[in-house]
């Protein structure tokens, strides 16, 4: 059993169908049945199994191989679509509507024509629909799309030099935030982080998990850590080399890999590695007891009195003698002079 991936437009997405024992090669034109009726497409790839994540019940069989009449009918539809694009664009300009026509799609059986456009706000195009219906005598649908869908239809070349992700393989648009650009350490320049559509690059989204897994393994940027090589400050991370750049002291920067960083953190660093890092390990020395004479010489803190008779512990008898002597001198036991109360004169 074989499965084929087909495209309905040059810059469109790939849709998979069941070949049903038919032999197809790249470039063959086929007629397939879609949710909106029959459509003509060409084979973009052939594979034995459908891609992962695609449910089997969503894969429909191929209706038939395109015949000469089908090819001529598709060419006529393209011609009608080109003329309708020019006619609708002239009507938009004449009516002064604030809308930009992007593309016109004509169904294979010409039962319906879809006009894709973008607009900054809601547009009243009722008169335009009446004009288009009277001109082509078929069902007309004006469908407003976003700028990302516009880039998906028209296609383009990204900054990487390849085709836009939205027009090649991206099947849905997930939200992209400026936080993703910050996590990937990109310059927040709109012209550098925006795609052809003017919105943030879609590749920021599906590269997010790769960067988040890396930052889970590496330490925080700008923080200092105590390691077996001393205190190191993490300056930046190199996700492509799976390494870190640290401040080795004295303004010297060294690049180390994440496994080597784990060795330093776990205090199992290799001696040769520490030598190459050129970091002198600062080992803490035990504090020595400083004698009282050294404390006086160094002038650190208050003077420490020498042990002598003045500093010896006084007994209870000695304290009683001192309090009695202080009372005779008119002082309080604590050394302060006792205040005498003045006697009030008698009336």
Q: What is the mean pLDDT of residues 13-26?
A: 85
**Could you report the per-residue pLDDT of 170-197, keeping only the tens digit for each?**
777 888 889 888 888 788 888 888 988 8
Query: Is the pLDDT at 135 greater than 60, yes or no?
Result: yes
Query: Is the pLDDT at 80 greater than 90, yes or no?
Result: yes
Q: What is the mean pLDDT of residues 74-98?
A: 94
Greater model confidence, 265 or 146: 146
Model confidence band, residue 9 (pLDDT cutoffs 50, 70, 90): confident
Greater model confidence, 278 or 157: 157
Greater model confidence, 19 or 280: 19
Greater model confidence, 40 or 330: 40
Strand order in the sheet with 230-238: 224-227, 230-238, 243-247, 253-257
Model confidence band, residue 332 (pLDDT cutoffs 50, 70, 90): very low
Place of tokens 């836009």: 164
Greater model confidence, 99 or 48: 99
pTM of the entire structure? 0.63
Model confidence band, residue 76 (pLDDT cutoffs 50, 70, 90): very high
How high is the pLDDT of residue 237? 84
40 φ, ψ (degrees, to nearest 5) = -110, 135
Question: Could you count the other beta carbons within 10 Å of the beta carbon of residue 261?
Answer: 21
Model confidence band, residue 289 (pLDDT cutoffs 50, 70, 90): very low
Model confidence band, residue 325 (pLDDT cutoffs 50, 70, 90): low
How high is the pLDDT of residue 89? 95
What is d(CA 306, CA 303) in angstroms, rounded to the nearest whole number? 9
Q: What is the mean pLDDT of residues 215-226?
A: 83
Q: Which of 22-31, 71-80, 293-302 has the lowest mean pLDDT?
A: 293-302
Mean pLDDT score across all residues of the chain: 77
Q: What is the mean pLDDT of residues 301-323?
A: 48
Greater model confidence, 225 or 327: 225
Which of 57-66, 105-114, 189-198, 270-279 is most confident? 105-114
How high is the pLDDT of residue 209? 85
Domains of the chain listed by start with CATH number: 3-66 (no CATH), 73-145 (3.30.300), 151-209 (no CATH), 218-277 (no CATH)
Angle made by CA atoms 100, 101, 107, in degrees to the nearest 5: 155
Q: What is the mean pLDDT of residues 193-221?
A: 86
What is d(CA 119, CA 137) in angstroms, rounded to the nearest whole number? 26
Greater model confidence, 238 or 326: 238
Query: Is the pLDDT at 134 greater than 90, yes or no?
Result: yes
How high is the pLDDT of residue 141? 94
Residue 128's closest CA among 119, 112, 141? 141
Model confidence band, residue 242 (pLDDT cutoffs 50, 70, 90): confident
Q: Are 30 and 60 in contact (CB under 8 A)?
A: no
Q: Are 295 and 304 in contact (CB under 8 A)?
A: yes
How high is the pLDDT of residue 271? 42
Greater model confidence, 152 or 325: 152
Report the percent of the chain where pLDDT is more than 90.
22
What ranges in 46-168 are assigned the alpha helix state H? 68-95, 126-136, 147-154, 165-168
Model confidence band, residue 258 (pLDDT cutoffs 50, 70, 90): confident
């Amino acid at each position: 059993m074989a499965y084929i991936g087909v495209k309905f437009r040059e810059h469109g997405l790939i849709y998979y169908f069941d070949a049903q024992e038919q032999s197809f090669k790249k470039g063959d034109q086929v007629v397939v049945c879609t949710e909106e009726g029959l459509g003509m497409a060409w084979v973009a790839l052939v594979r034995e199994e459908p891609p992962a994540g695609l449910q089997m019940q969503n894969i429909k069989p191929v209706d038939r191989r395109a015949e000469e009449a089908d090819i001529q009918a598709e060419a006529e539809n393209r011609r009608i679509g080109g003329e309708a694009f020019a006619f609708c664009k002239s009507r938009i300009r004449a009516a002064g509507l604030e809308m930009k026509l992007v593309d016109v799609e004509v169904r294979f059986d010409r039962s319906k024509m879809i006009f894709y456009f973008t607009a900054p706000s809601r547009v009243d195009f009722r008169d335009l629909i009446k004009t288009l219906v009277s001109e082509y005598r078929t069902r007309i649908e004006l469908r407003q799309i976003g700028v990302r869908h516009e880039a998906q239809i028209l296609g383009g070349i990204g900054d990487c030099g390849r085709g836009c992700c939205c027009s090649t393989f991206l099947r849905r648009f997930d939200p992209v935030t400026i936080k993703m650009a910050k996590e990937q350490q990109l310059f927040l320049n709109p012209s550098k982080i925006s795609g052809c559509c003017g919105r943030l690059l879609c590749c920021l989204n599906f590269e997010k998990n790769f960067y988040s897994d890396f930052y889970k393994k590496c330490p925080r940027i700008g923080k200092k850590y105590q390691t077996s090589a001393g205190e190191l400050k993490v300056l930046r991370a190199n996700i492509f080399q799976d390494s870190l750049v640290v401040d080795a002291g004295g303004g010297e920067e060294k690049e180390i890999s994440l496994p080597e960083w784990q060795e330093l953190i776990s205090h199992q660093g290799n001696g040769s590695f520490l030598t190459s890092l050129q970091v002198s390990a600062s080992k803490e020395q035990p504090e020595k007891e400083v004698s009282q004479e050294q404390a006086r010489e160094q002038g650190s803190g208050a003077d420490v009195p020498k042990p002598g008779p003045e500093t010896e512990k006084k007994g209870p008898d000695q304290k009683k003698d001192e309090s009695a002597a202080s009372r005779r001198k008119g002082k309080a036991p604590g050394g302060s002079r006792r205040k005498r109360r003045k006697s009030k004169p008698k009336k």
